[in-house]
Structure 1
Amino acid sequence: MDANALAAANFELLRDNPYPGRGLVIGRSSVEDAWLMIYWIMGRSASSRNRRFVAAGTTLRTEPIDTRQMENPELLIYDAMLELPSIYLVSNGDQTRTIYDALLAGSSFDAALEKREREPDAPHYTPRISGMLDLQTFPGRITLSILKASKANPANTDRFTYRPGKLPRGFAMGLTTYRGDGNPLPSFSGDPLLLPCAGKAEAVLDTYWNALNADNRVAIAVKQISVQEGTSRLLVRNRFTSQ
């Protein structure tokens, strides 16, 4: 199967998945000299759906819509995207800040995540998924991580780090937290997914938003990052804005 067919097949798997949970995708635009960083959240419970994305400059964060209805804010409210010079971070939890602080102090992506575990939300033990785009090396380098409950003992964490090779324009690599719906929710398994990244940022946002299950999607964001200028802009779409 060639790259286009594989990316299309993986995208159909995403479209057919009623609950991939949170997801992150990093890829190169097919039409612009830019990287696109995509992040979305989904929710089944009232507390999970009681959120929206807020862009504050180049930072993306989750925010409660109604603070009176928020449960487990330590797992639901966090900075999802942060930046350092030529380095762009995305994750599904407050490990974004852990990575950011470690890099700022001269440490590394891997060392930062050694301090973190899968989420403590038994029985699901939601994986922590994280991504980094490093533009210090042209045209850019991706690092992806997933921290999952160990199959041998969920009290422990299995750690997987991926460093995909150079991506052609129009392709992306992604991770989700779950393989589908269930109780407990089945964790993502296997290697990161090769996915399409066709069109401008606005078109990519529409494509991925429309692929997510309409009953469970909550919010999506796309950060467009210029390769030449190193500047970025955030596009945000929220399903819920008030309750």
Structure 2
Amino acid sequence: MQAMEVAAANFERHLVHNTYSGRGLVVGRSSVEDAWLMIYWMMGRSEHSRNRRLVVEGDILRTEPIDASLVEDPSLIIYEAIMVLPRCHLIGNGDQVRTIYEALQAGSSFDAALSTREREPDAPNYTPRISAMLDLHELPGQLTMSILKANAANPAYTDRTTYRPALPPAGLGMGLTTYDSDGSPLPSFSQDPLLLPCEGDIHTVLDRYWDALDANNRIAIAVKRLSADGETSELIVRNRYT
């Protein structure tokens, strides 16, 4: 099966026909220009999880509550999902993004930063922390991805897996989500990074992914376009609740 067919099959199976993939991220290459795309989305089942939206502040993509009076625990729902250092772009589903950002600023590394973090403490789901770094200091760049999830034998421990996939070709990206599917408790993502489609401009990509997410559970999505060298960017957002 060709790469585009694999990506399309993964997209149909894991997003279109899956009511709950949770939060997700994709880093890939545009099919219409020499540029990178970063995709981030949020889903939620509870009132607490749904009480948020994505907000753009300069180069930063962050979450914020829609109704602050309903926030029970801000530590797991309020965070920066995309942050930027010179020629280095970070994306993830929690405040571990800031941990990585501050570690890199201090001269440390992606792996060292995440060695200080655990899966989320939201028993019984123990939501995984998913993160990615696109390093464009030496072109064409390097992609690093990570998932921190509860150990299957003892969820008090965290399994840490880092991936360094080959850079995807134009029109394709590599993706992680927090869950494999809906359930109680929610089953953590158990696969390697998925090859997923990145065809079209950022508006086309946003529409395609938004439409793929379950209409009852989707909350927000963002797509960031980066020039090949990471020097210029554009970031667009769609929120279910405003």
TM-score class, shorter-chain normalisation, is over 0.9
> Is contact 2:22–2:179 with CA below 8 Å preserved after alignment?
yes
Q: 1:24 and 2:62 equivalent?
A: no
Q: Contact 1:87/1:134 (CA < 8 Å) preserved in 2?
A: yes
Letter of the 1:44 partner, please give it.
Answer: R
Task: Detail structure 1 runs of 4+ shifted over 2 Å in the superposition.
Answer: none
Tell me, in whole angstroms, the C-alpha distance in 2 between the residues paired with 1:17 and 1:139: 34
Measured in 2, the distance between the counterparts of 1:197 and 1:138 equals 20
User: Counterpart of 1:49?
Assistant: 50
Q: How does 1:200-239 map to 2 (within 5 A)?
A: 200-228=201-229, 230-239=231-240
Distance change (3 Å), C-alpha of 1:104 and 1:229: closer
Kindly report which structure 2 residues correspond to 1:81-160, keeping only aligned pairs within 5 A, or say none. 81-160=82-161
Q: How many angstroms apart in 2 are the aligned matches of 1:99 and 1:62?
A: 17
State the match for 1:166 in structure 2: 167
- Residue 16 of structure 2 aligns to a residue whose secondary structure is helix
- Aligned equivalent of 2:191: 190
Could you list the runs of 5+ residues in structure 1 that have no partner in the other structure?
Answer: none
Q: Decide whether the 8 Å contact of 2:87 with 2:229 is kept in 1.
A: no
Residue 207 of structure 1 aligns with an amino acid whose one-letter code is R
Q: Deviation per CA, 1:125-178: give whole Å up to 9, x if none.
A: 000000111111222221100001001110000011000112211110000000
Corresponding pairs, count:
241
Give the Å deviation of 1:190.
1.5
Q: TM-score, normalised by structure 1?
A: 0.98
Tell me how far apart the structure 1 counterparts of residues 201 and 125 of structure 2 sit (CA, whole Å). Answer: 35
Maintained 8 Å contact 1:43/1:218: yes
Amino acid at match of 1:4: M
TM-score by length of 2: 0.98
Unaligned runs of 5+ in 2: none
- Match in the other structure for 1:80: 81
For 1:202, what is the secondary structure of its paired residue?
A: helix
Alignment-derived partner of residue 9 in structure 1: 9
Structure 1 residue aligned with 2:200: 199
Q: Which amino acid aligns with 2:142?
A: R
C-alpha root-mean-square deviation of aligned residues, in Å? Answer: 0.8
